[in-house]
Amino acid sequence: MIVDSSTVEADVTLAADVCVVGSGAGGSVVAAELVAGGKSVVVLEEGHYWTSEDFTQREEEMYPRLYRERGTKPTADYTVLVSQGRALGGSTRASFCLCFRTPRQILAHWAERFGLSDLAHEDLFPYFTRVEERLAVQDMGPAELNANNRVLKRGAERLGFRGRFLRHNRTDCLGCGYCAIGCAYDRKNDALTTYLAAASTGGARIVPDVHVEKVRHERGRVLGVTGRLAGTRTGKSYALRVEAPTVVLAAGALESPMLWFRSDLPDRQRLAGRSLHLHPYLVVAGVFDEPIAAWQGIPHSYLVDEFLNLDKSVEGGYLAMAASALPIATAALLPGLGRDHRRLMNRYARTAAIAFFLHDRTRGQIQADSRGQAMIEYRLNDDDKRDAMSAMRRGCELLFAAGAKSVVLPYNDLVELHRRPEIQVVEERGILANDPLFLSFHPQGTLPMGKEPKRSLLDSFGAAHGVTGLYVADASVFPTSVAVPPQISVMALATRTAERILRAS
């Protein structure tokens, strides 16, 4: 049952076996698995319950509806703009449906360095399979290549770079291209239409429009949560109290640590909020003679993984995927001012773009600002700067090889190249704070797992060291960058966490 907050006109108290905070990739899975196992569950979500009927395909309406802070949250020095979903179903509602299993080399590294020996690829294989079947994950192919992805594939093949088709959790996609602002046709198999639907049918009470303030705990044991319920009949916010002996934090790698702070949960080693990885990406654009119309069709269907060699090193490297944005977002992100900016927008229909996702070694942190809101401290280290510069050079090479007449780099002022030798400008300019601009969809690592309590906050099942009944089931739990888009990793680990909760009861 999804609770309609507009019917509420007084304080509310609920009781359940488990309270799940957050309804995205992690929280939805935990809720559905626990309900199937016979547990009573309450799911709390800060965002609103939007359905496909509310998805207007208008950017100025949908970014505020589906994203935290109406679209993006900048790091303290504005180097990276971070986008996070804030709606029932979390970031999966605005996702691009990218499905990657956790690389086996990353899991082996976690086992060796952090003692997570029970998270080997063979151990997680059945969980990957289970999640992918639930989401109807399937391979993309030539039929799913739009012109933008064909540019990436053509450039990679001409240069001999390794590439492959991606896997997605979408069914009978119409190719409308509005993935980033919600699917009006319900063709994404996202958290709301799969796991949350099953949880609701099974009896879970799902409450949107709730700001969770604290996890209640006493003498090392969880008691429940408290918060405020908005969007009520009277227009006032009312207190919400959930009594539950088990609480699962699944609010994402930015908000789960903030809840940890507000709740005064134990953290003797001051690990909460640290070890933040953003999996940041930058975009290199190419202008072509022929129409590209990058906004049409499936945004990401092809991947170049030539530059992520995890067999050689589990640190560093980057992935390349086609990038596209709708007009408002494009205008906000393109460099230059005045006539330069107008000229770039006039060529919007003939512009292709490539996004380079860094497997970042940089460790940032989350802390509270003067208003009690999450503040992101994150500055690329020298190794990641070198990877970013390499990515920009490769982007130029790929686009010129595919036939681009000019290439635009993501610096604040317009840097447009017309010949391959001009690529050397990347070395001359380097990487500075807020120049070039980086984006992020995949923050992770702020409440890390590990065998040793002195080096981690959680065990390999997401159970908190030293707090009975407290679990975490989102991308916070990764001890390092996971190197790939994290949706399937989060869901597979969340399935294990739900199994552990059922066994512990």
Cβ-based burial of 440 (10 A; exposed 0-12, middle 13-18, buried ≥19) = buried
Please state whether beta strands 221-229 and 281-287 pair in parallel, antiparallel, or not at all (unpaired).
unpaired
Q: For residue 317, is it within any domain?
A: yes
Nearest to 231 by CA among 9, 54, 31: 9
Task: State in Å, rounded, how far the first CA of the chain is from the last one.
Answer: 24
Stated pTM of the model:
0.97
pLDDT of residue 433: 87
Outline where DSSP puts E strands in 307-390: 318-322, 351-358, 365-368, 374-377
Q: Which structure tokens are listed for 369?
A: 């600002």
Cα(188)–Cα(196) distance, integer angstroms = 14
pLDDT in tens, the chain (505 residues): 899 888 999 999 999 999 999 999 999 999 999 999 999 999 999 999 999 999 999 999 999 999 999 899 999 999 999 999 999 999 999 999 999 999 999 999 999 999 999 999 999 999 999 999 999 999 999 999 999 999 999 999 999 999 999 999 999 999 999 999 999 999 999 999 999 999 999 999 999 999 999 999 999 999 999 999 998 889 999 999 999 999 999 999 999 999 999 999 999 899 999 999 999 999 999 999 999 999 999 999 999 999 999 999 999 999 999 999 999 999 999 999 999 999 999 999 999 999 999 999 999 999 988 888 899 999 999 999 999 999 999 999 999 999 999 999 999 999 999 999 999 999 999 999 889 999 999 999 999 999 999 999 999 999 999 999 999 999 999 999 999 999 999 999 999 999 999 999 7
Q: For residue 405, is it within any domain?
A: yes
Which of 64-70's residues contact partners 24+ apart within 8 Å by CB, and which partners? 65/182, 66/93, 66/94, 66/181, 66/182, 67/94, 68/254
CA distances from 296 to 25, 95, 147 (A): 26, 16, 8
Q: For residue 358, is it within any domain?
A: yes
Residues tagged active-site:
442
Q: For residue 322, is it within any domain?
A: yes
How big is the CA angle at 390 (ends 389 and 396), to the nearest 5 degrees? 95
Q: For residue 339, is it within any domain?
A: yes
Nearest to 403 by CA among 348, 351, 480: 351
pLDDT of residue 505: 79
Q: For residue 59, is it within any domain?
A: no
Outline where DSSP puts E strands in 146-193: 163-165, 167-168
The CATH number of the domain where 382 resides is what? 3.30.410
**Structural domain count of the chain:** 1
Q: Which residues constitute the domain of residue 433?
A: 140-168+175-180+276-440
Amino acid (1-letter code) at residue 273: G
> 19 phi and psi, to 5 degrees?
-110, 125
Hey, how many other C-beta atoms are within 10 angstroms of the C-beta on 69?
15
